[in-house]
Amino acid sequence: MNASTTWHPVCERDALTDRQAVEFTVDDTPGFVMLHRDRLVAYANRCPHLGIELNWMPGRFLDADGDFIQCATHGALFTPDRGHCIAGPCQGDALSPLEVRESRGQILVRVPD
Ligand code: FES
Dump pLDDT digits (tens) for 42-77. 999 999 999 999 999 999 999 999 999 999 999 999
Predicted confidence band of residue 113 (pLDDT cuts 50, 70, 90): confident
* Pocket test residue of 46, 47, 61, 78 for ligand 1, highest count of atoms within 8 A of CB: 47
71 lines ligand 1 (CB under 6 A): yes
Single-letter amino acid code for the residue at 79: T
Fold category of 3-110 in CATH: Rieske Iron-sulfur Protein (2.102.10)
Domain ranges (residues) in the chain: 3-110
Cα dist from 97 to 64, 81, 104, whole Å: 22, 10, 22
- Ligand 1 pocket mutation, candidates 49, 56, 68, criterion most atoms within 8 A of CB: 49
Q: Report the pLDDT value the prediction gives residue 8, as an integer from 0 to 100.
A: 96
Q: Average pLDDT, stretch 25-41?
A: 94
pLDDT for residue 18: 77
Residue 87 CB less than 6 A away from ligand 1:
no
| Number of the ligand 1 atom closest to the C-alpha atom of 50 | 1
